[in-house]
Structure 1
Amino acid sequence: MNSKLLLFLALAIFTTSCISIRAKSKRTIVAKEQYVPVDQELYNTIVALDKRFFDAYNTCDLETQAELISEDIEFFHDKGGLATSKTQIMEAMKNNICDKVTRTLIEGSVEVYPIAGYGAVQMGEHKFFNKLEPTAKSIPSKFVTIWKNDNGNWKMTRIVSTHKN
């Protein structure tokens, strides 16, 4: 009788452990709340600025890009580190981006929030395509851009760029 009781207890413990492990291993998927801009005019302004910058980026219009980058830029790149020299960033774009890389914004990914007394923060996802490697897969990556509004003159002051691979 003791062996049956021990077998029952062992089976009960094993079953409980399996249920507990299975419950912990299930991924919980939470639906993302639909983004609604808190300031539609600000949202439209920032999205237009993003488009202007990256249309210039995609066509090697360095003058337009330079107009939208602040002199006190801080560009944080998860692979390349921190860059704080506008001159070096522009030189890197000229040498490494022009006619080699294009950027596509992931539609519906952009969120814009005001920063009182400063400007706005933009968050979103985009893809980069390397023209020198046309078959390479482009995986969406995340970005954050801090825009400063100086009497209607908008400039990017902080950029954070991350990649999944």
Structure 2
Amino acid sequence: MSATKFLLSMALPLLFLLSCKATKTDGNSHTIPKYSPIDAALHQSIAAMDATFFEAYNQCDLEKQASIYSDTIEFYHDKGGLMTSKQGIIDGTKKNICGKVTRTLVEGSIEVYPIKDYGAVEIGYHKFYNNQEPDAPSIPSKFIIMWQHTHKEWKITKVISLH
């Protein structure tokens, strides 16, 4: 092999390696950013609606719950499937929840994002306690609620409940 061919065969890989730019990361490039409300007033409104709805849930105020659910409610439960009957959801709550289960919000877990020309989406964690087994542990579970703002009212149009 001639000296020129040898130098070229060594120079090309070296040039390739030198052309690859090493980038330094701060170590946080794969972390999820801390949530900060986009709209503090919207966050406050949805947090208040969440509290109102789940107070009615915990107190078995079925009329109040029904007034907050949209007539076109879609309730997706990872274990129970999809329910689209508002009355069916209310009846199921009366039968399976009233006096038996209490919901608590995991403090500071609510995230609220505006949905243009619709309302907002709420994402958070909550716990459900079986009142008949007070020592049973409750594991936080994720929920997603779609809130529609119409006629100066907030209505729940979709719920995704994950356990």
Calculate the TM-score normalised by the size of structure 2.
Answer: 0.80
Identity of aligned residues (%): 55
Q: Indicate yes or no: 2:97 matched with 1:100.
A: no
Counterpart of 1:87 in 2: which secondary structure? helix
**Uncovered stretches (5+) of structure 1, i.e. residues with no partner:** 1-29
Q: CA deviation at 1:33?
A: 2.2
Higher alpha-carbon Rg: 2
Distance 1:97 1:60 in 2: 8
* 1:73 equivalent in alignment to 2:73: yes
SS in 2 for 1:126: strand
CA distance in 1 between partners of 2:160 and 2:48 (Å): 19
Q: Distance in 2 between matches of 1:99 and 1:108?
A: 26
Whether 2:37 is the aligned partner of 1:49: answer no
Q: What SS does the aligned partner of 2:48 have?
A: helix
Superposed structure 1 runs of 4+ greater than 4 Å apart: none
Shift of 1:97: 0.5
Tell me how far apart the structure 1 counterparts of residues 116 and 77 of structure 2 sit (CA, whole Å).
Answer: 26
1:31 deviates by 4.7
In 2, Cα distance between the equivalents of 1:51 and 1:31?
Answer: 30
Cα offset for 1:32? 3.9
Structure 1 letter corresponding to 2:124: G
Equivalent in the alignment of 2:152: 152
How much does 1:132 deviate? 1.3
CA distance in 2, matches of 1:88, 1:151: 25
- Aligned counterparts, 1:1-165, within 5 A: 31-163=31-163
Give unpaired runs (5+ residues) of structure 2.
Answer: 1-29
Correspondence for 2:21: none
Paired positions, count: 136
How far the C-alpha of 1:35 sits from its partner, in A, is: 1.1
Query: Shift of residue 34 of structure 1?
Result: 1.9
Q: How well do the aligned residues superpose, as a CA RMSD in angstroms? A: 1.6
Amino acid at match of 1:150: T
Residue 71 of structure 1 aligns to a residue in which SS?
strand
Aligned equivalents of 2:60 and 2:32: distance in 1? 36
In 2, the alpha carbon distance for the partners of 1:32 and 1:100 equals: 36
Q: Using structure 1 for the length normalisation, give the TM-score.
A: 0.79
What secondary structure does 1:135 align onto?
coil
Cα deviation, residue 90, structure 1: 0.2
